[in-house]
Amino acid sequence: MTTFSDFGLSNEIVKALSNMGFEEPTPIQAQAIPIGMKGKDMIGQAQTGTGKTTAFGVPLLEQIDLNEGIQGLVLAPTRELAVQVAEELNRIGQVKGVRTLPVYGGQDITRQIRALKKHPHIIAATPGRLIDHIERKTIRLSNIKMVVLDEADEMLNMGFIEDIERILSEIKGERQTLLFSATMPKRIQSLAEKFMQEPEMVKVKAKEMTVKNIEQYYMEVHEKQKFDVLCNLLDIQSPELAIVFGRTKKRVDEVVEGLIKRGYSAEGIHGDIPQAKRDQVIRRFKEQTIDIMVATDVAARGLDISGVSHVYNFDIPQDPESYVHRIGRTGRAGNKGLAITFVSPREIDHLKIIESVTKSKMAKKPVPSFKDVVAGNQQATINKLMEVIEKEEHADFKRVAESLLEDTDSVTLLAAAIKLLTKGPDVTPVKLTAVEPIRVRKPKGDRGGRRFNDRSRGGSRDRRDFKGGRDRRTKNRSSNKG
């Protein structure tokens, strides 16, 4: 068995990894850490949830000299991801004393400037805000030894290329550049050629782009039925935590509103929601104060939230990469997960393209019948009853129960209790604006498909959703949006 100590790491880092419960390196870690430690440039690809953060984090942390300034830089496409990467690097780096600071748009810049004065060693940033700091001279990149582009392909999709170029041009001298993602569209090649020196390709071989421990299904659902089917599934499957992906910000808002009307605890996250609120939603979701998070693709990449048992694609994703990343929010670090994609009848061709590019098959699952829903709700009640018994929360009620049993038999009493506790069909009206189905557009003389690999030319994605929200750089710097 390979262990982390086989890589010639410092005792502090080995200890930190063991404190985190990482007993052995994952395949991408086993391949990437030795190459990273040699100082080589690298392109790393491995499936979602397989530990890419630690794969680049360890060689990065090992290079840090505690007496120097900012020496490492991780760029990420979204603000939440920058925060999460910083958290993970801080956990691994703490025994050694390495400090990582997240720097992202939407957060008070003076607060960031104050934090920068405490001399972090590594910055995990979204490109737009980092450029703000470079311009203000509150961050200097002159000592940078290593740059990591996490979710590099997504940063390209979002049009961050110029920002990245600008940032890298600020870094003089020798630098090691790493580029990581679960998906590597061909376009990455040009990025690599431009910014990297003879990069090693590290790819964890897998037949499918998605991990095996995620069960994948699709349901053929008419637009108008989607909301009721979602509610039924939530009742039947009672996910520990669920992420529901919708196509647009408006869609997310409407689904959240509908879910709340029907009594679910749900909140939304998308690019127009103020950063403080976005942070709060993520926090509440992690703490399981809410158990459903409805999101646009802003939450599709990199987020690692334990307990996410179900992903529902309320709207089918625009492209195969998005599908891979969305469903990859479940089934992480070897856990099981379930992903269900709603497909309207006219989107079946689009579904086939996703299946063929990702080389994974989604089994068709029938929409739940009325009987399934009733049975599901009853089962949920029974689970709740058994949980009370297990936790011994019923002691105070024993006396009442005994006195009730003097006049009524136990089966009758229990049946009445189950009836009372079981959720009936909730038909509270919910209004959703219909979205157009995604159609496969076949270019002349082409059977379609391939072009979906290359989103930069596809252009069908709702870009408006990303403005500001995904830290896109805006012209108006003073708004501090990027």
Choose, by CB under 6 A, the member of 13, 14, 43, 54 that binds ligand ATP: 54
Rounded distance, CA 349 to CA 364, Å? 14
Q: Shortest gap between Cβ of 454 and Mg ion (angstroms)? A: 22
Kindly state whether residue 247 participates in binding Mg ion, applying the rule CB under 5 A.
Answer: no
Question: Which of the choices Mg ion, ligand ATP, none does residue 318 contact, using the CB cut-off of 5 to 8 A by kind?
Answer: none
What is the residue whose two structure tokens read 């890589």?
7
Among 43, 47, 50, 52, binds Mg ion (CB under 5 A): 52
Decide if residue 481 touches Mg ion (CB under 5 A): no
317 binds, among ligand ATP, Mg ion, none (CB under 5 to 8 A by kind): none
Determine, following the binding rule CB under 6 A, whether residue 36 of this chain makes contact with ligand ATP.
no
Say whether residue 53 binds ligand ATP (CB under 6 A): yes
Q: How far apart are CA 285 and CA 311, in angstroms?
A: 14
Give the integer Cα–Cα distance in Å for 155 and 166. Answer: 14
β-strand 122-125 against 241-245: which pairing, if any? unpaired
Query: What's the rounded Cα separation, in Å, for the pair 174 and 162?
Result: 21
d(CA 226, CA 216): 18
Query: Does 302 engage in binding with Mg ion (CB under 5 A)?
Result: yes
Among 66, 201, 276, 333, binds ligand ATP (CB under 6 A): 333
Work out what residue 25 binds among ligand ATP, Mg ion, none; the CB cut-off runs from 5 to 8 Å by kind.
Answer: ligand ATP
CA–CA separation, 311 and 308 (whole Å): 8
Contact call for residues 16 and 96 (beta carbons, < 8 A):
yes
Q: Is 1 helix (H, G, I), strand (E, B) or coil?
A: coil
Task: Count Cβ atoms below 10 Å from residue 338 Cβ, excluding itself.
Answer: 20
Q: Could you tell which of Mg ion, ligand ATP, none binds residue 71, using a CB distance below 5 to 8 A set by kind?
A: none
- Binding segment for ligand ATP among 18-26, 210-218, 366-374, 407-415 (CB under 6 A)? 18-26
**Strand partners for 343:** 220
Stretches 162-170, 206-214, 294-302, 320-328: which one binds Mg ion (CB under 5 A)?
Answer: 294-302
Give 152 or 252: the residue with its C-beta nearer to Mg ion: 152
Listing DSSP states for 36-90 in one string gives HHTT--EEEE--TTS-HHHHHHHHHHHT--TTSS--EEEE-SSHHHHHHHHHHHH
249 binding ligand ATP? (CB under 6 A): no
285 binds ligand ATP (CB under 6 A): no
Is 133 a binder of ligand ATP (CB under 6 A)? no
Q: For the CB of residue 463, give the shortest distance to ligand ATP in the complex, in Å.
A: 22
CB of 104 to ligand ATP, least distance (A): 17
Residues at the contact surface with Mg ion, assessed by CB under 5 A? 52, 302
